[in-house]
Chains A and B, each alone.
Chain A
C-alpha cells in the first residue's frame, strides 16, 4: 500500500534553516502537503505542491519535489522558536480523496 516516510526528529538553532524530508511510495501521488501541529493543537495547512511542480516558495517556506526519487522537502528559513512543532507530510492521488500521512517530524528550535 501507499506509504509516506519522514525522519522523526530535527533540532536546529534559532535563525538557522531547517530542512524536513519526506519520501513516498505512490508514484501516482499528485497533491502533496505539509501540515504543522503544535502541542495540543489541531493541524494547520502550511503549504502544498502539485506533482507537475518542482518547487514552491511561500515567504519563509520552500518546498522541493523530486518526483523521480519520490522525495519531498520543506525548508524553513530563519527558523524561530515558534516554529517548534510536529510537521507532517501528506499526499493524495486525487483531489478530494483522503490524505495519507507520514509519521511526522518533531522540530525543536533552541535559542
Chain B
C-alpha cells in the first residue's frame, strides 16, 4: 500500500492567516482526497483532487477558503485560508489503494489550532 508523508504535523496559527498542508505519496495515484476531522468528530470530505484538473469540492467547502493544488501524480497541497478558530481541526489526506481490498491509506494528519 502507498505511504503518505504529510506535513506539518501540527501548527498554531493566528486568525486571518493561511496555512498550506503538503502530502507526498511514494507512488503515482490518480485521485487524492482531503478530509477534515473536527475535535471529537468523524472525518468529513473536503474535496477530491485529480491531477491536471480542478479539485471537486463537497457541499459546504469552497475553493476560496480551501484552495488545492495537484501539480503531479504524487503530490498535493491544501491551503486553509483566512483562518478563524472554527478551522481548528485535524486535516488529513488520503489515497485509494490498488491492491487487495483497495484499502485507503491516510497521512498522519495535520493538527491545526487557530488562536
Contact = CB atoms under 8 A, between A and B. Distances in A.
A45 B31 CA distance: 18
Contact of A88 (B30, B42, B44, B101): B42
Contacts of B113: none
A55 B43 CA distance: 26
A100 B43 CA distance: 8
Contacts of B107: 42
A101 interface: yes
A96 B96 contact: yes
B43 A101 contact: yes
B contact face: mostly helix, strand, loop, or mixed: mixed
Contacts of A99: 33, 43, 45, 94, 104
Contacts, number: 51
A33 B103 contact: yes
A42 B92 contact: yes
B41 interface: yes
Interface residues of B, number: 22
Interface centre among A33, A98, A100, A103 (most CB of B within 10 A): A98
A103 B104 contact: no
A42 B93 CA distance: 11
Contacts of A90: 104
Contacts of B43: 43, 88, 99, 101
B105 A102 contact: no
Contacts of B94: 98-99
Contact of B42 (A31, A41, A101): A101
Nearest to B106: A43
A45 B1 CA distance: 11
A95 B101 CA distance: 9
15 contacts: A31-B102, A45-B103, A48-B101, A90-B104, A95-B96, A96-B31, A96-B102, A97-B96, A98-B31, A98-B94, A99-B104, A100-B45, A101-B42, A102-B42, A103-B41
Interface of A: 31, 33, 41-43, 45, 48, 88, 90, 95-104
